[in-house]
Structures are given as C-alpha cells and as structure tokens.
Amino acid sequence: MKKVFKEVDSLDKRCYEEFGLTEDILMENAALGLYHQIPLEAKKVLITSGVGNNGADGITLARILHGEKEVSLYIPFGVKSSMAKLQLDRAKKIGLKIVDNIEDKFDVIVEALFGSGLNRELNQEVKDLIEILNKKKAYKIACDMPTGEFKANITVTMGAYKEKLFLDNKKDYVGKIIVANLGISEDVYQTSTKTYLLEKSDLKLPLRNIEDTNKGTFGHLSVVAGKKVGAALLSSEAGFAYGCGLVSIVENENYQIPCHIMSSCQVPKKTTALAIGMGLGNMYDDEYLKKFLFDGDYPLLIDADLFYRDIIKELLEYKKNIVLTPHPKEFSSLLKICGFGKISVEDIQTNRFYYVREFTKKYKDIVLLLKGANTLISQNQEIYINTFGSNILSKGGSGDVLAGLISSLLAQGYSTLEATISGNLAHTLSLENFTKNNYALNPKDIIKGVQTL
C-alpha cells in the first residue's frame, strides 16, 4: 500500500527547513515530473497556467519544453505568486510564446490552473475555460489535481498522493495518477500518515496450505435471511465460494436454497461469523434481532437495512468485533442514530474522509467500509482507499456479494480489518477480466471472478 496525505505543504516546508532544498528546486522537479509524461510524438503543446504556484509549475514546464516542442503558454488570469512571476520572467527571457487565445489544435493540453490548493467554488469564467479545454481532442494532463471538471488522461501529483484525488467526484476526471519526484525520494519526502492507498498486492487470498483438514477447519458462516431472501442467497453463495467450509442461512420461511448451503431456524452453535442486514427489511423486531446480534462471541458483518434501526447504536456500544458496510445514504442514517447529527448524503460525499474519521474516532474497534466509486475502509481513524472498483459493479446484488466475501473471511479467522480489506479487494479485482459489456453484470459474475483470482 502507498501513503496518502491530507496536505503536502508541511512536507514541502520540511524540505526547506531540514534538507536545505528551496521552493525553486522542488518546482523544477515538479515540472520535470510533468515533462516526463508528455508523449514523445507530440508536437504542439498547450499549457494553461493559473495565478499561483500550480500555474508556476505549468510555466516552468513550458520553459523546459521550449525549443523541443511547439509550446503555447496561456495565462488567462495573470500571475500573482512570487514563484509564478519569477518563472514567467524566465520564460519570457528565452522567447517563449505566450498566447491570448487557444483556438488552435494541440496534441497535448496541460492544465495547471489551481491544483490541490483550491478550496473555493470556481467562477463561471474558469468553468467556461474548462469546458473549452475538455472539448478539444488532445491528450490531457492535469498538474497536481484536475481543476473542476477538467477531464485528464493522467494527473501528475506532486510529491505524494493527496486525499482529494480519491473523492468520488474526482474519479471521472483524474485519469491515471502519477506521483512526481520533487528531487528527493518518496521515503525521505514523506512522513507518517494514517491514510493508505491499497494495491493489488494487499489482497490476501484464503488459499489452503495444510492438508490435514475437514470442512469445519475453514469456518462456519451464518447469514440471516429477511424479506428479500435473494440477498441472503447471494451472500451465502459468495461466502461459500470464497473458502468458507460451511455456510448456513438462518431463516423461518422454508426458502428454496442451494443444496450446498445449509438451513437453520436459529444460529448454529459452531458459527464462527454472522452476516445480517442484507434484504432484511422490517421482518424482525428489535427483541428478536438481539438473539442474533448480542448472543455469541462471533464477529458480525452488518449491512443495509440494519443501518436504519436504532438497535445499531446499542450494538456498537456492546460489541467490538463488527464490520459495517453502508453506502452513503445508509451511512447518513447511521451517523444520525449514533449522535453525529443530520448529515446529508451530499455533505458526506464532499467530506467522505472527515466523516469516516469522525465515526471511527468514536467507535475505535469497529471497522467501517463506506461504499462508493472509491471505497474507504477505516478502523481507529486509519483509512485504506480501494480505487479498483468500477461502474460495472453498480448493480443490485453487488453489495450482497461483498457482504458474503468479507464475512467468509471473518468466519475463516481473519481479523475484522484484514477480512474487510481482502474481501473488498477480491470484490473489485474479480472483474478485471470481465469481457461482457459494462452494463451486463450479474452478481454471480463477481463470484465466478473471485474463484479465479
């Protein structure tokens, strides 16, 4: 996994104060990071630069490219920062072409308007410029972070990954993310953090490495069925496919279930993990639910309908070995029940990292998985980001499969955090070789994909 930071100004400052590097040195290396992403075959490059240091990065890049490519430097709002003024003066001295319109065709467009420091709403003039840039057919590079809805093929971020790059509303715009070296190795530049970007190598499959076993060796998962039994069936099928030795559906309605899944009207005594909430509806009252939730020392996975029940607050204060897997609307309900106030889905999506941290600050032992375009997994304010998900997964039943994968690992003895990370990675990576159209997913395709990871 890779380190991710809320901000890097403090890391830059450390370079100046501890290592004797200057702002100029870091900027030259930032521009070189952009330079190395310009395709060799590109001839005409447009660089749009803003008023501050992000714009200065763009101006520096223009100076480096001058003479090698046909460079057009566009500075629509002038320059304000001292570094932007310095870099512009240098660029002018070598005869760099500064343009007052962008009507030409270009092979590459570099957007260096605001970067990660932007913390205000864009005005209409900037939005109109971004719209013009997006309409141009060119390879597009964002400097540090795309401004607004600039749709980049690649984002070159400076020094380290930033949390803002992984907000759901940026996923359609960042493209591939590259970290530029600022003249000092990542290990030296970066300090400690509590936020990490998950990599494929972080997936720990439940591969069997001993032979003297029986079905009980690999855990017994129980899945509570509710009004929509299909959800419990998908969870149980996923749990069975992901290595669990035994899987039972707990139900009172005599549903038709697959022959390899067991059925019980109560939680089996040898249960090693329990999943509940998927398709539950209002089938059970709180007193009845307590039999599943408060009895037994097995870990719990809680999903879906239980996030609208007041009993969840009592449960979180009573038990520690719990995994919660809400989507943003369910998380909004959970936050309200747990005393965080009435927080809209829009507010949650704009401040995902903040609310995830606040929740796991209060409930330190609980593992929270907040679903989204980029999944956030957290325990005790540490956050793990999974970016491997795609719009293919936006189908009913996908979350039920995820619940089954995570709870299967819980049943097999993984810790709550390990189970959540590996279950979620398996869920997203299962579709890497999905060959059907991206609208055509059947939740069982995820299960098939997991079996061949």
- Are 255 and 401 found together in one domain? yes
- Are 221 and 165 found together in one domain? no
- Are 228 and 146 found together in one domain? no
Q: What angle do CA 380, 386, 390 make, to 5 degrees?
A: 145
> For residues 99 and 72, is the Cβ–Cβ distance under 8 A?
yes
Give the 3-state secondary structure percentages of the chain, helix then strand then coil, rounded to 5.
40, 20, 40
Q: In whole angstroms, give the CA distance from residue 190 to residue 216.
A: 45
- Are 216 and 319 found together in one domain? yes
* Lookup result for tokens 């989204």: 372
- Are 265 and 371 found together in one domain? yes
- Are 142 and 249 found together in one domain? no
- Are 54 and 127 found together in one domain? yes
Profile the chain (453 residues) by mean pLDDT over runs of 10 residues: 96 96 97 97 97 96 96 96 96 93 95 84 92 97 96 97 96 97 96 97 95 92 94 97 97 84 92 97 89 91 96 96 98 98 97 98 98 98 97 96 98 98 98 91 96 94
- Are 217 and 180 found together in one domain? no
* CATH number where 21 lies: 3.40.50.10260
The tally of domains found in the chain comes to 2
Q: Pick the last residue of a domain from 134, 165, 192.
A: 192
> Model's pTM, two decimal places?
0.95
pLDDT tens profile 347-383: 999 999 999 999 999 999 999 999 999 999 999 999 9
- Are 329 and 424 found together in one domain? yes
> For residues 372 and 169, is the Cβ–Cβ distance under 8 A?
no
- Are 36 and 179 found together in one domain? yes
What single-letter amino acid sits at 72? S
Burial class (CB in 10 A: 0-12, 13-18, 19+), 204: middle
> For residues 184 and 22, is the Cβ–Cβ distance under 8 A?
no
pLDDT tens profile 397-422: 999 999 999 999 999 999 999 999 99
Position 336 scores a pLDDT of 98
Q: In whole angstroms, give the CA distance from residue 236 to residue 78.
A: 60
CB atoms within 10 A of CB 51: 18
Take residue 75 and report the two structure tokens written for it.
Answer: 């500075």
DSSP, collapsed to helix, strand or coil, labels residue 300 as strand
What single-letter amino acid sits at 380? N
* CATH number where 446 lies: 3.40.1190.20
User: Which domain does 430 fall in, by range?
Assistant: 200-450
- Are 154 and 95 found together in one domain? yes
CA 285 remoteness from chain centre:
35
Q: Pick the last residue of a domain from 171, 192, 213.
A: 192
- Are 33 and 127 found together in one domain? yes
